[in-house]
Amino acid sequence: MCQSADTYLPLNGNAKRRTCLACGRPLPPRHRRYCALSCRQQLLASLNRRTGLLRALNTRYATFYFTDFVIVMDLLTYGNEQIYSYMLPRGFGRKPVDDFCDLSNMLGTEWWNERNRTKKRYVASQHVLEQARLASQAVGTVIPSTLAVPAVGARHLITLELSTEELTPSNMQQRIKQAYRHQVKRHHPDLGGSAQAFLKIQDAYERLIDWTRNPTYIRKSGFPDKWLYEGANNRWLQPIVPRKAR
């Protein structure tokens, strides 16, 4: 568990190869980030079932990601600026979630064995931290950035084939109208389209335009290609969609 992840080609960050952020498999057509909802949910549920060790290690933030060859969990403890990195080689034909469970179980066993031997939780936690590679990257690679996401139904954006990063304060209405006109040309009943699809497009347009009159946002923390653990809330969060530079 002491190899450097920098020597491997990131599976999620390869622009020429669109892969699922949860399982690493090629994405089906029209899927942007995950091959299926169940795939994302399975990984997130497994991460959240295994937060006990992170709490025992007094973790402030942690990230989980994977390459073709390894899975990586980096963590930052409270009151410390040192990043501890744990890595495990990928099992052939296995999903990252399965490899993560192996890593978590391995470290958890180390913690409990030391806890039972010394009867001291602090000593057990120090023992597990000593198993990590001391990463040299800046703490900003683990401390998340915050993204303001429009508080509007995702299904409406999908219907008009819009992404949240396109809805900037300066052009949101214009961009929604452009997307609406494009979809109307494709699905209007007079042009051979489906009446049901057209009504869905019309509803999405009206809902989005109504939202622009008093736009509200939800603030999300995270990374575009890593899963984030927040110690304050004791939960893992899925990667967030970055806003394009403007």
Model-level pTM?
Answer: 0.70
pLDDT, tens digit, 9 for 90 and up, residues 63-122: 999 998 999 999 999 999 999 999 999 988 899 999 999 999 999 999 999 999 999 999
pLDDT, tens digit, 9 for 90 and up, residues 181-234: 999 988 888 888 888 889 999 999 999 999 888 888 777 788 888 999 999 999
Q: Long-range pairs for 183-191 at CB < 8 Å and ≥24 separation?
A: 183/159
CA 31 to chain centre: 15
Distance CA 8, CA 140 (A): 21
Query: Can you give the chain as a three-state secondary structure string?
Result: CCCCHHHCCECCCCCCCCECCCCCCECCCCCCCCCCHHHHHHHHHHHHCCCHHHHHCCEEEEEEEEECCEEEEEEEECCCCCEEEEEEECCCCCCHHHHHHHHHHHHHHHHHHHHHHHCCHHHHHHHHHCCCEEECCCHHHCCCEEEEEECCCHHHHHHCCCCHHHCCCCCHHHHHHHHHHHHHHHHCHHHCCCHHHHHHHHHHHHHHHHHHHCCCEEEEEECCCCEEEECCCCEEECCCCCCCCC
pLDDT, tens digit, 9 for 90 and up, residues 177-194: 999 999 998 888 888 888
Question: Which two three-digit tokens encode residue 150?
Answer: 């429009």
Which domains does the chain carry? 5-143+222-237 (no CATH), 152-215 (1.10.287)
